[in-house]
Amino acid sequence: MIDRATIARNKAAAKPAWTSKSVSPATRQATTRQRRRALWVCIGIVLMTLILLPVASVMGPLFPFFLPSYQTATVVAYVIITYLIFGHYRATKEVDLLYIGAGCFYAAAILIMQFLAMPGAFFPQQSLLGGAQTTIWLWFLWHAGLALSILLYAVSRWWSPSWLASHPERMPNWLIAVVLAALAASLLPVVVFHADLPTLIEHGNFHRVTTSGLGFLLQSLTALAMLVLWRATGFRAVLHVWLGVALVALQCDNVITMAGGSQFSIGWYVGRCNALISATVLLMIYLREMNQVYLKTVQDARLLALNNAMLEVQMDQVRLDDLTGLPSRSLFLELAETLRGRGSISRQAVALLFIDLDGFKWINDNLGHDRGDAVLVEVAAALRSALRDSDIAGRVGGDEFVVCLIAPALSIKATATAVAGRIVSRVAEIGDGIGCSIGIALCQAESLEWDSALRQADEAMYQAKRQGKSRFTVYGHSLIDEVA
């Protein structure tokens, strides 16, 4: 017998075992394996940078397709990251994520402007906007903006101002306003007033980035972001670990790009690869998390369907009679209604047989309740052997049973009486003086009312008892004539 406690446990097991926060890389703890993997990625980036650093200033081959491909891939990566991070913010309500999302959005916008400002990107020897110094300043701005956003994220994890905690719902609007203002402040001087900018690049050479101190400022800002991120988070969550990898890639980009000193040098190419790695690291980790969520959702859906199927079986088992295994009254009526609906579609008639045992009280009083229970089990077996595969039997009381069957209207009376005759005969074979009286109610399937049919069958059963027991009687001969 399945009890209520078992059903409750199965219901609990049917619920998904994860929440929105447990699947977010911003809140889920990084495993040792993930930290080790990230460390090896950092080591690989640093080693590649150190190995190529001595030849960074050597000019490499000119690949016309490299710059548009790199720029497009980096922009797309940051746009997708922005979308995914804001999606995770909506799921987890982790306000700190907005800093990363804002930084990625800022970087994407600056990279788009840089692409438009590149001479020859769209027209030979011409750019769509800005001047000679626009692209190098935009390079500095997107590196600085991204490092600053990670620094703000780390600071917010370390120390969250009270005004921020008290107004989290306003944070997205505030950050959108701040990012738009930062973009306006960044683009206005480098696009509109580009002629007044300090010269950082001449004929493809940008050594002045280093000599002007901007390179050192950028490296210091990136290093500070890494230090504060480590101090604030300890690289505990998955996002923290891979933000560290992104910062390492950005720092190596800064170092080898400035060591290269000019466009299309080996250092410049390697720097672009490091920058792309920095962008795609976050993209890949979020895409991996989405894949994990999808797989977990599919797994939970399958588990939920399996548990629901088990619950349905168990609920039916709860509604089965403990002793005989036949459906109880409620389950019998439910199954009979399904059978009636099937008969209604095919315009068949329904017969309801109400069975009451004769001599059962004498068995309980003289042979004991154990023998009485055994008789009930044998009666249930007799019913099963007497019925057709499509017929339904149930136990509705101590020694009361019911049977429902359908047949064509012209043969419903003959079918019901044949089944009733078999039941009377086989119950009598049990012995000890046991017998049964059966009342039969007949009705068209589409007009059947169960309360009325049960009452008619019950009345017919008592009529059979009055006529001498161990027999069956059909209720309402006028109704039979109409059906037949």
pLDDT digits (tens, 9 = 90+) for 61-82: 888 788 888 888 999 998 988 8
Q: Are 282 and 243 in contact (CB under 8 A)?
A: yes
Lowest mean pLDDT across 143-147, 174-178, 301-305, 432-436: 301-305
Model confidence band, residue 192 (pLDDT cutoffs 50, 70, 90): confident
- Complete DSSP assignment for 292-316: HHHHHHHHHHHHHHHHHHHHHHHHH
Span 195-232, pLDDT tens digits: 788 888 887 788 888 888 888 999 999 999 999 999 98
Domain boundaries, the chain: 4-301, 329-483
Residues 152-171: tens digit of each pLDDT: 888 888 776 554 555 666 77
> Residue 348 corresponds to which tokens in the numbers above?
């068949």
CA 375 to chain centre: 52
Span 330-357, mean pLDDT? Answer: 85
361 membership: H or E segment, kind and range: helix 360-367
Compute the distance between CA of residue 257 and CA of residue 266 in angstroms, rounded to an integer. Answer: 9
What is the CB-side half-sphere exposure of residue 36 using CA atoms within 13 A? 3
Residue 433 has pLDDT above 60, yes or no: yes
Residue pair 439/352 in contact by the 8 Å Cβ criterion: no
Count of other CB atoms within 10 angstroms of residue 149: 23
Taking residues 227-255, what's their average pLDDT? 90
pLDDT greater than 70 at residue 41: yes
CATH superfamily of 329-483: Reverse transcriptase/Diguanylate cyclase domain (3.30.70.270)
Contact 127, 117 (CB under 8 A): yes
Spatial contact of 470 and 437, defined as CB atoms under 8 Å apart: yes
Rg of the chain in Å (alpha carbons): 41
Q: How far apart are CA 253 and CA 307, in angstroms?
A: 52
Residue listed under structure tokens 């797994």:
299
What Å distances lie between residue 452 and 440, 442, 475, CA to CA?
Answer: 12, 11, 12
pLDDT for the residue 36: 92
pTM of the model: 0.59
Using the structure block, give the residue that is written with the tokens 């078992």: 6
**Confidence band for 85, pLDDT divided at 50, 70 and 90:** confident
Determine how β-strand 392-395 pairs with β-strand 400-407: antiparallel
- 92: pLDDT strictly greater than 80: no
Give the pLDDT of residue 12. Answer: 44
Residue type, 284: M
What is d(CA 111, CA 141) in angstroms, rounded to the nearest whole number? 9
pLDDT of residue 4: 41
Q: Which residues contact 246 (CB under 8 A, 6 or more apart)?
A: 150, 278, 279, 281, 282
CB 106, CB 183: distance < 8 Å? yes
Q: What is the mean pLDDT of the chain?
A: 82
| Four-residue CA torsion sign, 403, 404, 409, 411 | negative
Name the nearest CA neighbour of 464 among 428, 424, 411, 414. Answer: 424
Query: Tell me, what's the pLDDT at 34?
Result: 86
Residues 6+ apart with CB under 8 A from 356: 399, 400, 401, 436, 437, 438, 461, 465
Q: Does residue 295 have a pLDDT over 90?
A: no
Which residues make beta-bridge pairs with 394? 402
List, for residues 111-154, the tens digit of each pLDDT value: 888 888 877 666 666 667 777 888 888 888 889 999 999 998 88
Tell me how far apart the alpha carbons of residues 113 and 184 are, in angstroms, rounded to a whole number: 12
Q: Is the pLDDT of residue 264 over 70?
A: yes
Work out the percent of the chain whose per-residue pLDDT is above 70: 85
- The residue with tokens 């077996």 is 381
For the cut 50, the answer to whether the pLDDT of residue 8 exceeds it is no
Q: Which residues contact 462 (CB under 8 A, 6 or more apart)?
A: 437, 439
CATH of 4-301, one of 1.20.1070, 3.30.410, 3.30.70, 1.10.10: 1.20.1070
Residue listed under structure tokens 């490091």: 274
Q: What is the pLDDT of residue 480?
A: 36
| Confidence (pLDDT) at 124 | 64
Q: What is the pLDDT of residues 441-478, one digit of tens each?
A: 998 888 888 888 999 999 999 999 988 888 999 987 53
Place of tokens 């719902």: 169
d(CA 385, CA 381): 6
Rounded distance between C-alpha atoms, residue 406 and residue 65, angstroms: 78
Q: State the average pLDDT over residues 397-419.
A: 91
pLDDT of residue 237: 86
Whose CA is closest to 386, among 447, 337, 436? Answer: 436
- Angle of helix 238-260 relative to helix 134-158, nearest 10 degrees, comes to 150
Using the predicted structure, report yes or no on whether residue 287 has a pLDDT greater than 80.
no
Residue 39's pLDDT is: 92
User: Is there a contact between 414 and 426 (Cβ–Cβ < 8 Å)?
Assistant: no
Say which amino acid occupies 387. Answer: L
